[in-house]
Structure 1
Amino acid sequence: MLKNGVLLGVFALVCSALVAGVNQLTRPQIEYQQRQQLLSILHQIIPDQMHDNDLAASCSLITAPDALGSTSAMPVYVARKQGQPQAAAIETVAPDGYNGKIHLIVAVDTKGTVLGVRTLEQQETPGLGDKVDSRKSDWVERFVGKQFDINNLKVWFVKKDGGEIDQFTGATITPRAYTKALRNTLRYFIEHQAQIYASKSNCEEPQS
């Protein structure tokens, strides 16, 4: 039994070392792919003609649990042209999705007009709640072009709650949570826009 125990211990150590080695070897490639995906999304939601800076590098972290749905610091990417801020893309969380948290990003210009929205991570029900994913449907596109007005929040509720946003047939919880996250995030942006644009870049850069 002692011999078997020693063999099992050695086997476990070897396996752990192999897993650690594989993780170490693949980490740079994974981080590179994550950066490329992020760049692709940023360029989808903020038109290239609006900026001349590196969006991914112009990133700062903000902590606003009530507005952004997370106790963790969330990235915000600022688009600038000739040094002047033109727009911001803010990562945020809808904590009350049907199957858990929904991680999304919304781009908004200096006037509070939504430029684009993308879902970064979700686990909603296939065929129902997963329509928040732009690869599944064009539902998120209905926010594009809408201007956020604190004095007219009706736009930013689903129709079942008296608003103007279509919910999904057979699924209200997901679009309600998503719209709420956008509403809270955009309100935070309007109220803290100057602070956001003045923040220094302090996000950790992925290694390529």
Structure 2
Amino acid sequence: MRFDREQLQMVLALFLVAAIAAVLLGMTDLFTREPIAAAQRQTLHHALEQVLPGHNNDPQAEAAVVAGHEIYPARQDHALAGLAWEVVAPDGYSGSIHILIGLRPDGRLLAIRVTDHKETPGLGDGIVRNQSWLDSFRDHGLDDIRWLVKKDGGDFDQFTGATITPRAVVKAVKGALEFYRANRAAIVTRFGDSTDAAVAAEVGK
């Protein structure tokens, strides 16, 4: 197949446009990648500050993957004070709900925060607006409360007209506590140190 001069010019023009577009896309990615990453780190930093106790380390800098979860340790003068990681409730009313868990080394909750969701405004979004409901998780462990909403015979309130959303969150948080119980020795070994004698003793029981 032979190309005449006009067809060849058209092919070259299309090639040039595609090459310029590729260069521009590459430059855009190059110049925006770090600002986007920095914004994501700052957002995570803010969320971690909400679920972890007072600490003087950088949990993001010390994060490590243990048993499939990226875990962020909080330390106070080198002693392990708390741990945080994200869990996903796949069964929200309008999609997945992302939850950041803050946990004491002894397995009791420090706090939870919902970091991403698509729940209905005015109904399911009570998981971010209702601070007293979020606080109802604090200080509880796996065995000292019934991990269901009250409609299902548990101890957690549901929202008027929106039971599916809080049910999904309660189930996901309970799953996080079960994960910690199953992997506690590995997690504390990874993040603990010689100043954590009490924690090590608990794990050894």
**Contact map agreement 1:112 1:148 (CA 8 A) in 2:** yes
Q: Does 1:102 align with 2:102?
A: no
Aligned: 1:128 with 2:123: yes
Higher Rg of the two aligned structures: 2
Alignment match of 1:58 (pick from 59, 62, 66): 62
Gapped regions of structure 1 (runs ≥ 5): 64-72, 201-208
Q: Give the aligned residue type for 1:186.
A: L
After TM superposition, the score normalised by the length of structure 2 is 0.79
- Provide the rounded CA distance (Å) in 2 between the counterparts of 1:7 and 1:173: 56
2:52 matches 1:46: yes
Higher relative contact order (CA 8 A, sep 6+): 1
Check whether the contact 2:105–2:188 (CA below 8 A) recurs between aligned residues: no
- Corresponding position of 2:130: 137
1:137–1:19 distance in 2 versus 1, CA, 3 Å: farther
1:148–1:187 Cα contact (<8 Å) kept? no
- Normalising by structure 1, we get a TM-score of 0.78
Q: Determine the structure 2 residue equivalent to 1:148.
A: 141
Structural RMSD (CA): 2.3
State the partner residue of 2:148.
Answer: 157
Q: Shift in Å at residue 175 of structure 1?
A: 0.9
* Counterpart AA for 2:184: Q
The alignment partner of 1:100 has SS state of coil
Q: CA deviation at 1:9?
A: 4.8
User: 2:20 matched to 1:14?
Assistant: yes
Q: Which amino acid aligns with 1:173?
A: I
| Pair 20,113 (structure 1): closer, same or farther in 2 beyond 3 Å | same
Q: What SS is found at the alignment partner of 1:199?
A: helix
Aligned position for 1:93: 88
What letter corresponds to residue 40 of structure 1 in structure 2?
Answer: H
Instruction: Say if 1:20 and 1:125 are closer, same or farther in 2 by CA, change over 3 A.
Output: farther
**CA distance in structure 2 between the aligned counterparts of 1:7 and 1:165, rounded to whole angstroms:** 65
Question: Aligned residues, how many?
Answer: 185
Among the aligned pairs, what percent are the same residue? 36
